[in-house]
């Protein structure tokens, strides 16, 4: 089996997303890239976790041609464009999480209501402009929203994160969903205080080495 380790990492991540409520049913997708072999491992389209087997996980080349497994996720373009333009990203998670998606339905950025947002590399998580799922337009909107950052909201859709490996990608989506929940709850009872750009600049610098899974 080619890229067995990457398939196992993807499988474990997808299982953990379901267990922690970061996705449900067949929504969301996960991918990893092997730059040496120039192959991308991505969850197949429309397959529920209970039917997902290692051999069914999709393997495609950099151009999106299927090498092994089932047909890849319909969001393949969104993963491809990040891998081609961001050498710091080797793993991507896209989820339809409740609170991040709630904010994306307002088509607003997620501000620094909590310093943990620094795990995504900035003082906010920007909301990418809306486009139909699976399109090149959406992929380009995501790439733009993630400039200098490791996460973006997708308008009326969900959230996407990228990192150097799958473990840190999961940490980012988990933390950003937590911050998104805080923001939604705080706005329900008042006007949350947003941390200053100066404070967040310090936080981003601190988080370059803090809490990173090696």
Confidence band, pLDDT 50/70/90 cuts, at residue 140:
very high
Tell me, what's the pLDDT at 211?
Answer: 54
**141 CB contacts (<8 Å, ≥6 apart)?**
128, 129, 130, 131, 154
Tell me, what's the pLDDT at 177?
Answer: 98
Handedness of CA 19, 23, 24, 30 (dihedral sign): negative
- Tell me: the pLDDT tens digits for 11-68? 999 889 988 988 877 788 999 999 999 999 999 998 877 788 999 999 999 999 999 9
List the one residue out of 116, 125, 118, 111 whose CA is nearest residue 201.
118
Please identify which of the residues 9, 75, 174, 177 carries the catalytic annotation. 75
Tell me, what's the pLDDT at 98?
Answer: 95
Domain ranges in the chain are 4-206
CATH of 4-206, one of 2.60.40.1120, 2.60.40.3080, 1.20.1730.10, 3.40.225.10: 3.40.225.10
The C-alpha atoms of residue 166 and residue 172 are separated, in whole angstroms, by 10
- How far, rounded to the nearest angstrom, does the alpha carbon of residue 63 sit from its chain's CA centroid? 21
pTM, whole model, 2 decimals? 0.95
- Per the annotation, the verdict on 75 as an active-site residue is yes
């Amino acid at each position: 089996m080619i890229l067995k380790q990457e398939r196992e990492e993807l499988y474990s991540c997808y299982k953990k997303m379901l267990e922690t409520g970061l996705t449900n049913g067949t929504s969301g997708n996960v991918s990893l890239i092997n730059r040496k072999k120039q192959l991308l491992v991505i969850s197949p389209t429309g397959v529920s976790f209970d039917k997902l087997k290692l051999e069914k996980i999709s393997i495609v080349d950099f151009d999106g041609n299927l090498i092994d497994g089932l047909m890849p996720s319909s969001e393949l373009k969104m993963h491809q464009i990040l891998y081609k333009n961001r050498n710091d990203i080797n793993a991507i998670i896209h989820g339809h999480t409740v609170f991040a998606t709630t904010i994306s339905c307002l088509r607003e950025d997620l501000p620094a209501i909590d310093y943990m947002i620094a795990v995504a590399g900035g003082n906010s998580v920007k909301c990418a402009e809306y486009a139909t799922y699976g399109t090149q337009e959406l992929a380009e909107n995501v790439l733009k929203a993630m400039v200098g950052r490791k996460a973006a909201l997708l308008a009326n859709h969900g959230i996407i994160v990228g990192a150097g490996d799958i473990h840190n990608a999961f940490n980012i989506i988990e933390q950003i969903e937590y911050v998104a929940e805080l923001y939604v709850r705080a706005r329900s009872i008042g006007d949350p205080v947003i941390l200053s750009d100066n404070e967040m600049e310090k936080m981003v610098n601190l988080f370059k080495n803090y809490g990173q899974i090696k």
